[in-house]
Structure 1
Amino acid sequence: MFRKHPRRFIIATLTAALAGLAYAVLNQDAGWASSLSLSSPAGASRMVDAFEAASGRHAGFRRNHAKGTCLSGRFDSNGHGTEISTAAFFRQGSYPFTGRFSVMGSNPSLNDTHGRLRSLAVAMTAGGESWRMAMNSVPIFFVNTPEALLEQLRASVPDPQTGAVDPVRMDAFRKAHPEMQPFEQWLDTHRPSTGFDNAAYYSVNAFRFIDAAGRTQVARWRMEPEALYAPLSNAQLEADDPDMLTYGLVSTLAEGPLRWHLILTLALPGDAVNDATKMWSTQGHREIDAGVLVIEHLHAQVDGACRDIDFDPLVLPQGIQPSDDPLLRARSAAYAESHRRRVKESGGR
């Protein structure tokens, strides 16, 4: 039958060959990869290659969280954050920002209800300083090292023969990484919210906050919505409504600006400050409400201001420094590599 459709035969053959190559490369023994710094340019390229092989490649789009919408507004600081940091954004006043809501995955046409994790990214400016936040709707990450993330992506590469992820390989990965359990338990016990507007968003990693006297306080933060949380129903989860979250956001924003409180949670002795898989206890921590993030406008990501922004979590103002969490440096490097590729491909999206 291929004689009648030689082009189809060639495409099918190339597709199978490329899939087989990706499968072979990403599932080879990782001995040499463990010695490769995944926060280096070469290591970041390897990581982004793994994302593309595991989830597909869509030219011009982000390699993860490809589907999203741009937004803009202001951060109204109440001045309370100056207690622990000299960052300009904690001084009382209003600071403009550009941001982005997104869902997890590399497919820009993903059905909104198929992903249980959402993200909010923010790029704020104050004078000559910038603060970029990349936050998720789950407060912790599923692995605690870049090497483990690469291993998970390797286990997620679809078999070229079946087109499906090998459950044996994925099960072996889970057994080898028990640190995944808190993340999976969170997803099991916290149903996704009905919209972008009524979800909390977390820094996931910890950061160091330096005050005017030079004292350092480690903290995580979250954006806590003023809108009341409501869980997705079973019917909504099963519905074929690919743009439910974006349409819902348009509707709610038409009624007025959306607001989240920036809550800084200060670490206690014994808290895991360099391990993003560890939850902090829900009691005993001091929290500071540092102000309100106000979303005023939405913009299509195809030509919105957020389109070409690299929401690198290591773009920080003076007064805030990264912790020693190894994921932060690897995230920064991978974001930069993803940005380089998509902007080169089609001007970025």
Structure 2
Amino acid sequence: MIEPAVLDPRQAIDRLRAAFRGPDRHRTLHAKGRFYAGTFTATPEATALGRAGHLTGDPVPVLVRWSNAGGNAEVPDRVPDIRGMAVKFRLPDGTETDLLGQTSRRFPTDSPEEFVAMTEASRRPATLPLFMLRHPRMVPAMLDGLRSKAVSTPASFAEPTYYPIHAYGWRDAGDRLSWVRYVFAPQPSERLPERYDDLFAEMADRLARGPVRYDVRLQVAGPGDDPHSAVSVWKHARELLGGTIEVTEELPDQDPVVFDPARVVDGIELSDDPILRYRPSAYSESIARRT
């Protein structure tokens, strides 16, 4: 069987940038975002499951970036969009590892070509039904996104749940391997009385009142759950609380900063997920154009 050719990252970035018509030297996707400082503290359950340096139970610094998914930073925040929450964990030994969450809880494809084509079609709503007819395998995830309101106009970046779509292998102190997926779930917080058209202004006022906290929930794969596909639905996973992210302040612009979901540290392993393996090459092409 001949494997299909993988989409050239240069072509992928060309097509995505053309779809959004974003300004030069901006991120190809998630162009509009800001950086925030905080900490992550792992639970004893996470410490028992993984030996990585940010899972000891001591607070470690994190860099967080909330963003709109689109590739044009000039689009107003009130326009419906997927939202992102990227987290960079900074370990005591100076290494870093990243997770990229989005409000869509299921990914529609393992193919970079199909993902780019879907993004192009979504920019032309009249063509999207035809695209779905031609790609029926992607329809369940796309419909799940509609039902869960993955594309929405939230009142705050602190309200949605974010889903890093990839699974990672965790090694414990005895070198036993578990496959883990993450969920960033907001802790209950008070909605500010004023209506904001600027989600970053809302976050500034929210942080002035106190930290924003997210539970990091873990799904640990069970028998038959496939960690090597972003599309797979786990039916046998057990769930546990892995820790808490506490965001405390906005930071000045940190660019050029890359959040790379394939950047891992000792104790964390990559799966063979084709989308996960493809992303570093696309990010390298994108940041080369930004800098």
- Max radius of gyration: which structure? 1
Residues 1:242 and 1:331: Cα distance change in structure 2 (over 3 Å): farther
Distance in 2 of aligned mates of 1:148 and 1:68: 26
Q: Spell out, residue by residue over 1:123-147, the C-alpha distance to the aligned partner (whole angstroms, 9 max, x if none).
A: 1111132111111112111222112
Q: In structure 2, what is the equivalent of residue 175 of structure 1?
A: 133
Q: Residue 269 of structure 1 is aligned with which of 198, 202, 223? A: 223
The structural deviation recorded for 1:173 is: 2.3
* Unmatched segments (≥5 aa) in structure 1: 1-32, 158-164, 231-235, 344-349
Distance in 1 of aligned mates of 2:109 and 2:84? 18
Matched with 1:290 is 242
1:132 counterpart (76, 93, 98): 98
Name the counterpart of 2:60: 95
* Alpha-carbon distance in 2 for matches of 1:166, 1:93: 47
CA RMSD in angstroms comes to: 2.3
Amino acid in structure 1 at the alignment position of 2:183? R
Tell me: CA distance 1:131–1:88, structure 2 relative to 1, closer, same or farther (3 Å). Answer: same
Tell me the alpha carbon deviations over residues 216-273 of structure 1, each in whole angstroms, 9 at most, x when there is no partner.
111101111112598xxxxx8xxxx652x21221221111001111111101222232
> Letter of the aligned partner of 2:248 in structure 1?
E
Per-residue Cα deviation, 1:305-343 (whole angstroms, up to 9, x for no partner):
2x2111010111111111111000112211121111112
Kindly indicate which of the two structures has a greater share of residues assigned to helix. 1
Task: Provide the rounded CA distance (Å) in 2 between the counterparts of 1:333 and 1:135.
Answer: 19
Preserved contact between residue 225 and residue 237 of structure 2 (Cα < 8 Å):
no
Residues 1:107 and 2:55 aligned together: no
1:61 corresponds to which of 26, 29, 48: 26
**One-letter amino acid of the counterpart of residue 324, structure 1:** D
Q: By how many angstroms is 1:200 displaced?
A: 1.4
Counting only pairs closer than 5 Å after superposition, residues 77-226 of structure 1 correspond to structure 2 as: 77-126=42-91, 127-153=93-119, 155=121, 165=124, 167-168=126-127, 170-191=128-149, 192=152, 193-226=154-187
* Count of residue pairs the alignment pairs up: 282
Residues 314, 332 of structure 1: 8 Å contact kept: yes
For residue 261 of structure 1, what is the amino acid of its counterpart? D
What is the rounded CA distance, in whole Å, between the counterparts of 2:134 and 2:279 in structure 1?
22
> Identity of aligned pairs, percent?
27
